[in-house]
Copies of this chain bind each other. A is one copy, B any other.
């Protein structure tokens, strides 16, 4: 029998942002809870696999309402604007974009593409994106793809590479490719903004 305290500590250490000390505190916390809490946690963790699925359309994880459901609640919602496709890096981005008032559809890229790598398909769902865009292009449902990548060097690199790959499709099926506006973010002051942000805020003045 392996030591479940050590095994669990190790598993928690792999959680995002968790170091050895906090992993140990998690185990102590679970030890101090009664058996029903631990068993609810164990059941919920297991249920993740059986009750959730990767949406075949946008590639985010969602809760299956029936064994057959293949699309998440957003992709299967007919009142969303199917003409707007927002390409994001990860599931967690959706919540903020929804709060920002976006009403279109999503595609989860699954990350960014490292600089100077030959096979971008290895890092992100590029093939899946091209396939979806091609099919929607042919169906004439797509008006605009919004590339919602991080405002970082790797995010910019990913954005430019995807723009390149989408170029021919965008001309053939006449949809737009856009990127999120850059500039001062809410709450920021000029004195503390970096020159690049100021330069972009100047370029995007309106």
Which residues of A pack against B, CB within 8 Å?
1, 3-5, 7-8, 11, 15-17, 22, 24-32, 35, 37-49, 51-52, 61, 63, 88-93, 95-97, 99-102, 146, 148-152, 155, 178-191, 193-206
Contacts and interface: CB of A to CB of B under 8 A. Distances in A.
* Count of identical protomers in the assembly: 4
Contact of A17 (B25, B27, B99): B25
Nearest to A25: B16
A25 B148 CA distance: 19
Contact of A91 (B7, B28, B99): B28
B201 A182 contact: yes
Contacts of A183: 180-185, 200-201, 204
A35 B11 contact: no
A190 B194 CA distance: 18
A202 B146 contact: yes
A92 B25 contact: yes
A48 B4 contact: yes
Closest 5 CB pairs of A and B: A181-B204, A181-B183, A100-B198, A99-B195, A4-B47
Nearest to A196: B186
